[in-house]
Amino acid sequence: MRMKRLFITKENLEILVKHLKKSCDEFIAPKKEHLDDIIFGDAKNDGKELLDYEGNSVISPRAFLLPQTEELFEIKSARNNRFVPIEDKKRRVFYGVRPCDIKAVGLMKSFFLDEFVDEFYQQKLENSIFIALACGKRCLSKSFCHTMGAGPVASDNFDLQLIPISRGYLMEAGSEKGKSILKKNKKLFAKANLKDEKEIKDRSRHFIEKDKEVNFRKLAKLIKEDKVRQEAWDDIGLRCVICSGCITLCPTCSCFSVMDRLNGDKGIRMRYCDGCPYAGFTKMAGGNIPQPQHKDHIRRFFEHKLNVDVERYQTPSCVGCSRCIQTCPGNISIRKFIDEVAGIK
């Protein structure tokens, strides 16, 4: 059962943040950076975290769990193939993560811990605390978190969630880790009242789009059975210029490659983010590419989010953050694609 939401003032939230900072090695929070871009970064020592902010960060906190490049093994001796896994035991607090990105963390967790466990991803998750910050306003005109079942308020996958209201915040725990933080700091909280809950409910209504309820199981089936108009796929293929913006910003993209860097007999084995739109993504030694057509490459991005993951996790793995739409120079829109295939005008 869900724990009751508690009320916290802005001043007390600042105190809570101070306490949290003391208990972690990195306090990953939204910060205003160059050109006022909101970017997640470590604010443990510089105090530059934003307690609250409008919109969403340019890049999701995925960058801390599956970084662009990540050192996996120290190669102690290349000649003898001696590898030692690189540990990352840093205790991290992720503060102010939007519900769309929180849902993404939950999906990535299922993916990396499924069947074979990805130790490198797991070690970072184990020592992390996720504090969601629910949305009061729609962040971008193109975002559609509500359609994707991700926002404006997260339903799970967080340790703690902050929900802004006019007189401060409500806070709730979503895990044992979260509960113990609330318990330790119970002096900072007061009871919430019915008015607060009503305010949240009323505001959530702004996110609901009229007549827009997508049956994602049906949509997945249409994709699976190849019943999407060929022209729709062709159009996406034509528009994609392989800039890699979508796969870089998508909070649920997880593809990677592995490479070794040597300096003499010692070195590092690392992985780096890779992605399906790239022409060489499936190229084998010897040069054979099983799916040589470009339009099939970017199609995979859509199939994966809207069909494969619906089968695997009973939910699409597009969380409606709209970062890919915002960044695409060819104006490809997964939202429009969903609307078209689901028959919503």
Partner 1 sequence: MKNEYLPVRVVIEKIIVESTDAKTFVLRPEDKTSGILKYKPGQFMMLSLAGYGEAPFTFASSPNKDGRFQISVRRVGSLTDALHKLGEKDIVGVRGPYGNTFPLEKIKGKDLFFIAGGCGIAPLRPLIQYLFKNRKNYGRIEIIYGCRAPKDIFYKEEIKSWQDNLNTNVHLTVDEPDESWGGTCGVVCVLLPKIKVNPETSLVFLCGPAVMIKFAIGDILKLGFREKNIYVSLERYMKCGIGKCGHCYVKGKYVCLDGPNFSYTQMKELGIDS
Binding test (CB under 8 A) with partner 1, winner from 75, 102, 129, 162: 75
Omega before 152 within 30 of 0, i.e. cis: yes
* Antiparallel, parallel or unpaired: β 38-42 and 69-77: unpaired
Report, in Å, the least distance between residue 159 CB and partner 1. Answer: 22
Residue 85 in tokens = 């896994």
| Helical (H) or strand (E) element with 228 | none
CB-CB contact of 38 with 49 (8 Å): no
The two tokens of residue 322 are 């709209």
Structural contact between residues 197 and 4, judged by C-beta atoms closer than 8 angstroms = no
Closest to partner 1 by CB, 196 vs 303, is 303
Query: Cα–Cα distance between 4 and 98 in angstroms, integer?
Result: 20
Distance CA 131, CA 97 (A): 6
Closer to partner 1 by CB, 90 or 300: give it: 300
- Minimum distance from CB of 32 to partner 1 (Å)? 34
Among 80, 166, 230, 331, binds partner 1 (CB under 8 A): 80
Residue 95 or 233: which CB sits closer to partner 1?
Answer: 233
The nearest distance, CB 275 to partner 1, in angstroms, is 8
Q: Applying CB under 8 A, which of residues 2, 22, 34, 79 lies at the interface with partner 1? A: 79
The site map against partner 1 for 234-263 (x = CB under 8 A) is --------------------xxxxxxx-x-
Binding of partner 1 at residue 89 (CB under 8 A)?
no
Q: Is 140 helix (H, G, I), strand (E, B) or coil?
A: coil
- 115 scored as a contact of partner 1 (CB under 8 A): yes
Beta bridge partners of 94: 28, 130
Cβ proximity to partner 1: between 37 and 311 the closer is 311
Interatomic CA distance for residues 222 and 210, integer angstroms: 23
Residues in contact with partner 1 by CB under 8 A are 72-73, 75, 77-83, 85, 111-112, 114-120, 224, 254-260, 262, 267, 269, 271, 274-276, 281-286, 288, 290-291, 300, 303-304, 307-308, 311
